[in-house]
Amino acid sequence: MAALTLFRPHVRAVASAVPLISFRASAGGAPIAIGLFIAHRWGRRELAAFTIAHATVMIVVAVTDWGGTRALPRNLATLAPEAVAPFLAAGNALRLGFVAAAIAVVAALAGAGAIGADAVRYLAILLPLCPLSILTTNALSERVVSGATRPIAVAVSAGLASFGALAAAALTVHAGAPGIAAAYVAGKAIEAVVLVSGRWWVLSVATTGLASAAAALWPFAAQMILGVVYSRLAVFTVERATTREEFGIFSVALALQNALLLVPASLALMQFPELSRRAQAGEAAAVRRLLVRYTIVTAAAVLCGALVMLAAAGRIAAALDVPRGMMPFVVAFAALAFPASLSVVAGFFLQARGEERLVSRLSVLTLALALVYQVTALRAFGLWGIVAAVGAGEASTIAVFALGARPRRGRRDGT
């Protein structure tokens, strides 16, 4: 009974995050599954092209989101009710402008040959995820803050069902891997419509208050863009420093690491509004409990996932076209999900305290360190070097954010 009482809060924490986990499984997990299916059906080279395109689109999504994924849950939880709708409307106008500009830039880069031809076709298919992300971020943030999270699972189910049907049709007509990617985007569109249903006001657009909305979102935008570049940096460094075959193996390892991050990332986002309320109210004990719970759940989730990978190493290697001798690399890189989850929540913690400007400045430093680690280690040790480099990068990020979290006399709002 004592053990049950001890773990009950952690079980409740996971249960409350289930709808959000289902959304993360669609937004983050479905591309993982698609990538692994592509590797199984069409080989690691095709997976490599999809991985490059998806990483590029995720960076574009981060730019066009302009920090909304983190800023909206905190601001909707702390703003006066009458200020919420105008803030969202101005933010929507700002982000739609960025969508148009980003698509134009990506198209110009593709036309200039800066992006490989094999990745361009996937890039064209996945770019509609940028405007769709604005719809889903707004609706999801409002539902998380208001506590009306059950419809999230309904929206995800509708999107996945549509994706499944369209993917089956694509396979029937031999549309190949690009057809699967197109089916995924269509499913995300249906998911967005269902998620926004009943909350159409979150899509309002107005230019009034545009400057103030941009200023309020900018610190979150800077950190989010830097964070997404940081998390995708290995894709581009490994792609440049290794062969296409090695990059295909890395793509499998990255997909499995992202799978292990689903629960931690969902739990962090689910707890962010409450963390913001507690931190800004000065409730240190409550904040500590939230962070400890997150760490325990994260450690358990990653450990279980890594053990499953070790037990099924032979089957994974056969199914995903990975040489058996490279499975230790795949599992080792995937297990870096644990330090990655801690670096994520470190940034959340500082932002919850209102120190988003400090987080954005620290992120510049952690991104620079990660780049140095990865370039150096890849040159010295080849593909295995990325494990040491990413591990060192996550450790540095945790240390830098921990130092930034220390109270200093006279510091306010991250200045």
Token reading at 225: 């863009």
pLDDT of residue 388: 93
pLDDT of residue 9: 52
Distance CA 273, CA 289 (A): 15
- Taking a C-beta distance cutoff of 8 angstroms, is the pair 78, 148 a contact? no
Contacts of 292 (CB under 8 A, 6+ apart): none
pLDDT of residue 164: 92
pLDDT of residue 60: 83
- Taking a C-beta distance cutoff of 8 angstroms, is the pair 145, 73 a contact? yes
Distance CA 10, CA 293 (A): 6
pLDDT of residue 12: 53
Query: To which H or E segment does residue 66 belong?
Result: none
User: Residue 233: which of 89, 381, 389 has the closest Cα?
Assistant: 389
Q: Which residue has the tokens 């969508």?
A: 99
Query: To which H or E segment does residue 206 belong?
Result: none
Q: How many C-beta atoms lie closer than 10 Å to residue 244's C-beta? A: 12
Q: How many C-beta atoms lie closer than 10 Å to residue 2's C-beta? A: 6
Cα separations (Å) of 215 from 19, 165, 220? 31, 43, 10
* One-letter amino acid of 328: P
Token reading at 71: 């800023």
Helices H, strands E: what count in the chain? Answer: 19, 0
Token reading at 232: 């995708």
| pLDDT tens track, the chain, 415 positions | 444 454 455 455 555 567 766 776 677 678 878 888 888 888 878 888 888 888 888 888 888 887 777 677 767 766 666 767 788 888 888 888 888 888 888 888 877 777 777 788 898 899 889 888 888 888 887 777 776 677 888 888 899 999 999 999 999 999 889 999 999 999 999 999 988 887 787 788 887 777 877 777 777 777 677 777 887 888 889 988 888 788 888 888 888 888 888 778 777 777 777 787 787 777 888 888 888 888 888 888 888 888 988 888 888 888 887 888 899 999 999 999 888 888 878 877 887 777 777 877 888 888 899 999 999 999 999 999 999 999 999 999 899 888 877 765 544 444 4
pLDDT of residue 410: 47
User: Residue 190: which of 243, 219, 154, 218 has the closest Cα?
Assistant: 154
pLDDT of residue 415: 40
Nearest 5°: the CA angle 326, 330, 336 is 145
* One-letter amino acid of 359: V
